[in-house]
């Protein structure tokens, strides 16, 4: 009797198959991922080194909220450090240079940051991620310009970003 019960349990377990995979929620995206996106061929770590202020960004990005100061600096071993300080707190993202205008996660992980556009004098830049989970416009302190901000917004829109959700600190 025990053997028959054990055989039935084994057969029942075999018939169930593998459990259904649990769906993984995608990160919220502020861009149409079907839209093409490209990084600029300018905007090396050396070009971006120094202080910036985020003027517009997407909601839910505490380290990249409008008014946040960003310092881009070279780090050890070819790393590029992005240091954020603002009302939401301080943070740092360590990246390494990938293709031109692309900064891939360093040893600590983090987002892949792409410089989508930067003006000729490196005063205004649009930064985003290929998955659209992050996006912002930043300016050198005291260097904001309506024309350059409009150009940065156009590039975000061309890259599939929803400008209606882009917020400013003003």
We report the CATH number of the domain holding residue 110 as 2.40.128.20
> Residue 33 domain-assigned?
no
* CB distance 31 to 37 below 8 Å: yes
DSSP letter assigned to residue 19:
P
pLDDT of residue 26: 60
> Residue 150 domain-assigned?
yes
> Residue 70 domain-assigned?
yes
* CB distance 170 to 69 below 8 Å: no
Please compute the mean of the pLDDT values over residues 117-142 and round it to a whole number: 97
Q: Which of 6-10, 67-71, 93-97, 133-137 has the lowest mean pLDDT?
A: 6-10
| Cα separation, 107 vs 97, whole angstroms | 13
Whether residue 9 is predicted with pLDDT greater than 50 in this model: the reply is: no
Pair of tokens at residue 3: 């053997």
> Residue 132 domain-assigned?
yes
Give the count of domains, the chain: 1
Please compute the mean of the pLDDT values over residues 13-37 and round it to a whole number: 67
| Cα separation, 112 vs 93, whole angstroms | 10
pLDDT of residue 95: 93
- Confidence class of residue 28 from pLDDT cuts 50, 70 and 90? confident
Domain enclosing residue 151, as ranges: 45-168
37-92 tens-digit pLDDT: 999 998 889 999 999 999 999 998 878 999 999 999 988 888 899 999 997 779 99
- Confidence class of residue 169 from pLDDT cuts 50, 70 and 90? low
> Residue 68 domain-assigned?
yes
> Residue 130 domain-assigned?
yes
> Residue 57 domain-assigned?
yes
> Residue 10 domain-assigned?
no
The pTM of the full predicted model, rounded to 2 decimals, is: 0.82
pLDDT of residue 22: 43
Tokens 């416009």 belong to residue? 137
Q: Which of 2-11, 95-104, 115-124, 156-165 has the lowest mean pLDDT?
A: 2-11
| Cα separation, 3 vs 13, whole angstroms | 15
């Amino acid at each position: 009797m025990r053997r028959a019960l054990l055989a039935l349990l084994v057969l029942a377990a075999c018939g169930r198959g593998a459990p259904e995979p649990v769906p993984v929620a995608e990160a919220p995206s502020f861009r149409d991922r079907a839209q093409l996106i490209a990084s600029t061929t300018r905007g090396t770590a050396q070009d971006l080194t120094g202080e910036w202020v985020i003027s517009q960004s997407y909601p839910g990005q505490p380290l990249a909220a409008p008014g946040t100061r960003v310092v881009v600096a070279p780090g050890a071993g070819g790393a590029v450090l992005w240091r954020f300080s603002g009302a939401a707190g301080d943070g740092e993202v360590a990246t390494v240079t990938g293709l031109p205008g692309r900064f891939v996660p360093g040893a600590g992980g983090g987002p892949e940051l792409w410089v989508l556009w930067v003006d000729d004098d490196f005063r205004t830049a649009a930064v985003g991620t290929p998955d659209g989970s992050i996006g912002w416009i930043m300016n050198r302190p005291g260097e904001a310009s309506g024309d350059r901000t409009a150009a940065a917004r156009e590039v975000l829109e061309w890259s599939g970003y929803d400008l209606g959700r882009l917020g400013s600190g003003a």
